[in-house]
Structure 1
Amino acid sequence: MTATVVITPRGPFSLAASLRFLESFTPAGYRDASDGRVLRLAFPADDGRSTVSAEVRQAQSPEGTVRANVTVHSGNPGNDAAGTASAESDGTSGVRAQLARILSLDVDGSAFPRLAEGDPVVAELIAEYPGLRPVCFYSPYEAAAWAVIGHRIRMVQAAAIKARIAEHHGQRVTVAGESLHAFPTPLVLRGLSRVPGLPETKVERLRALADAALAGDLDAARLRAMPVDDALAHLRTLPGIGPFSAELILIRGAGHPDVFPRHERRLHASMAEAYGLGDPDASDACRLAGIGDHWAPYRSWVALLLRTRREEKAGPAARGRSVR
């Protein structure tokens, strides 16, 4: 049984742009199996216990309404039929909120185009990537798990390990005719004693992150409600989470729209190039953050566009580099 979730974007949004982004975003491991008009998703729900599958499409109407057929699965991993409950019977509000956050549709983007008026760099980015909003990790929990898995190894290697964890321990679902494996829920992940390709230290950290997620320490709404510095400090108390990873979790896991990444060197290099900065400004995080202040309240969004353009210029080889 399925239920339909309907979201009307506030401001420009393109699902097709989201699909193109996901295909080049190594952690997602996304491969489009359609004509580019449907987004297939499978992910652990924010409740920490169930898995959601979603078939997402966008109408061609002026409003660009997004519709998703969603199902909540509460059965055993590996079986996409057992224990399935409709999202309608369980209540769609939580699933709708999570899906909106994943696609950055929980943010009013109506004022985003106005950033172009005072910044030629932002104007160029908006024109180059019309309707592209950040496509987030499915949750802060999954973003944190990615940070631990990918620490000091190449992204393609980390993505392969994450995919194997999903295949062996996550829920298998069928979405629009395609079989997908979701990343395991915290309840499942906390019980893993060994993960091929990962040292015991990382496995221990993954189990601890699962416990933290179940305890509410990785709740997206809670993280976004906190002052940014407090949220980052809180995340850094989790095992294996340093300054770079904390920003990743808050921005790309919790979907915070207005955080300038102070520890993302590739973004800083892209900014230096775009704004014509030389040394020492090009490596001065405070100077760069000052430029980023003009992007408020969409600092995370502009940062994503800058990184996207840099990765596209660098080509596929850049996507195989280490997470940091």
Structure 2
Amino acid sequence: MSVTLDGPDFVAPTVTAVSFAPAGPFSLAASSRFLECFTPASHQRAADELLRLAFPADDGTSVVAATVRQDPGTGGGPGMVRAECTVDPGAPAPAEAATAGAAADQVVRAQLARILSLDVDGTGFPALAADPVVAGLMADHPGLRPVCFHSPYEAAAWAVIGNRIRMTQAAAIKAGIARRHGPRVHLAGRTLHAFPTPAVLRTVRHVPGLTDVKIQRLHSLAEAALDGQLDAARLRALPADHALAELRALPGIGPFSAELVLIRGAGHPDVFPRHEPRVHRAVAAAYGLGAPAAADVARLADVADGWRPYRSWVATLLRVRAQDTPRTG
């Protein structure tokens, strides 16, 4: 793998390789197709079937560049997922530099697994096929698990950027922030721009297309990330209601955004989104409940109880189906 990270703030990168044996169905190809349709990712599938990722690490200062591939499956099971990664630790102090190499594998493994939902035991997921609706979703999207934002920090930043503007406009602004303030990564024949680390984002004073209020909120989120308030493991360890309440206390994060950060940022596998109308319409349609039922969140949550402990996963599949099905009327 050929990787180069440009920029004066990034020195002494560490190269590491990690692998994952998926527990339950998993398809990296399905993940790549999902990212193609996920506007914030701005992902373009490569002919070589490698998934290329560049992102700020959970430690708040490092940057990770990774190429990910999946071996062919054997015996009907999913193939091993393998990633070659470069971890650039930023500008560590001398005492930190000595341990950077040893920590790189752990940094990459945990975060990359979470991004691809490989940190969740999915062996029980096929049992949900007893529900004909879920069985149909699995058949339409075999091996698809939620592909998460790189971190709760990046999910929260997206929520602030995208508030009250079109998704395509928000994606262009987010990509512009990455180009101007994030590291440029040359990765296996392609150039990617990672979103800036929290330490960098809190110094940004002007972003074309963003109001001063939104920039101030991004600064607050960067500080929250550096303070550990957006730590994925901590958020997932909390009762979901408590985690959502904490997230709603952050500037610019409302009920919808809090769910986005917990489900698609921290990778929580078992939360039913109570503030995502498109999922609600999809549930009502899939279960033949009638259009008015889409406004009855309590009733929909009762339906979703049958998806435990993978409510986030099934909601994602319903969201993908809704995205693939043009609305009429």
Q: TM-score, with normalisation over the residues of structure 2?
A: 0.90
Q: Cα distance, 1:186 vs. partner?
A: 0.0
Q: Work out whether 1:110 is the aligned partner of 2:100.
A: no
Counterparts of 1:275 and 1:258, CA distance in 2? 20
Instruction: Tell me the residue number matched to 2:88.
Output: 73
Instruction: Tell me the residue number matched to 1:81.
Output: none
From 46, 51, 58, the counterpart of 1:33: 46
Give the secondary structure class of the aligned counterpart of 2:325.
helix
Tell which deviates more after alignment, 248-257 or 267-276. 267-276
Instruction: Tell me the residue number matched to 1:319.
Output: none
Instruction: Tell me the residue number matched to 1:94.
Output: 107
Instruction: Tell me the residue number matched to 1:131.
Output: 143
Q: Cα distance, 1:95 vs. partner?
A: 1.2
From 181, 187, 201, the counterpart of 1:169: 181
Counterparts of 2:51 and 2:101, CA distance in 1? 20
Q: Work out whether 1:205 is the aligned partner of 2:217.
A: yes
Which runs of 5 or more structure 2 residues have no equivalent in the other structure?
1-13, 92-96
Counterparts of 1:90 and 1:113, CA distance in 2? 35
State the AA in 1 paired with 2:83. A
Q: Cα distance, 1:38 vs. partner?
A: 0.7
- Structure 1 pair 105–221 and aligned structure 2 pair: CA distance change class (3 A): same
CA contact (8 A) 2:17 2:82 kept: yes
CA contact (8 A) 2:202 2:223 kept: yes
Counterparts of 1:108 and 1:191, CA distance in 2? 39
Give the secondary structure class of the aligned counterpart of 1:6.
strand
Counterparts of 1:122 and 1:26, CA distance in 2? 25
From 262, 286, 297, the counterpart of 1:274: 286
State the AA in 2 paired with 1:73. D
From 8, 33, 45, the counterpart of 2:57: 45
Map Cα deviations across residues 268-303 of structure 1 (whole Å, 9 max, x no partner): 011111111125422100000000000000000000
- Structure 1 pair 87–183 and aligned structure 2 pair: CA distance change class (3 A): same
Map Cα deviations across residues 199-247 of structure 1 (whole Å, 9 max, x no partner): 0000000000000000000000000000000000000000000000000
Q: Cα distance, 1:61 vs. partner?
A: 3.2
CA contact (8 A) 2:87 2:104 kept: no
Q: Which runs of 4+ in 1 moved over 4 A?
A: 84-89
From 212, 233, 237, the counterpart of 2:249: 237
Q: Cα distance, 1:91 vs. partner?
A: 3.2
Q: Cα distance, 1:266 vs. partner?
A: 0.4
State the AA in 2 paired with 1:97. A
Counterparts of 1:86 and 1:193, CA distance in 2? 33
From 145, 158, 171, the counterpart of 1:159: 171
Q: Cα distance, 1:88 vs. partner?
A: 4.5
State the AA in 2 paired with 1:68. A
Q: Cα distance, 1:114 vs. partner?
A: 0.5
Map Cα deviations across residues 137-165 of structure 1 (whole Å, 9 max, x no partner): 00000000000000010000000000000
CA contact (8 A) 2:42 2:171 kept: yes
From 277, 293, 296, the counterpart of 1:265: 277
State the AA in 2 paired with 1:66. V
Give the secondary structure class of the aligned counterpart of 1:258.
coil
Q: Cα distance, 1:86 vs. partner?
A: 11
Counterparts of 2:178 and 2:104, CA distance in 1? 26
Give the secondary structure class of the aligned counterpart of 1:161.
helix
Map Cα deviations across residues 166-213 of structure 1 (whole Å, 9 max, x no partner): 011001111111111100000000001111110000000000000000
Aligned-residue CA RMSD in angstroms?
Answer: 1.7
Instruction: Tell me the residue number matched to 1:16.
Output: 29
Name the % identity: 66
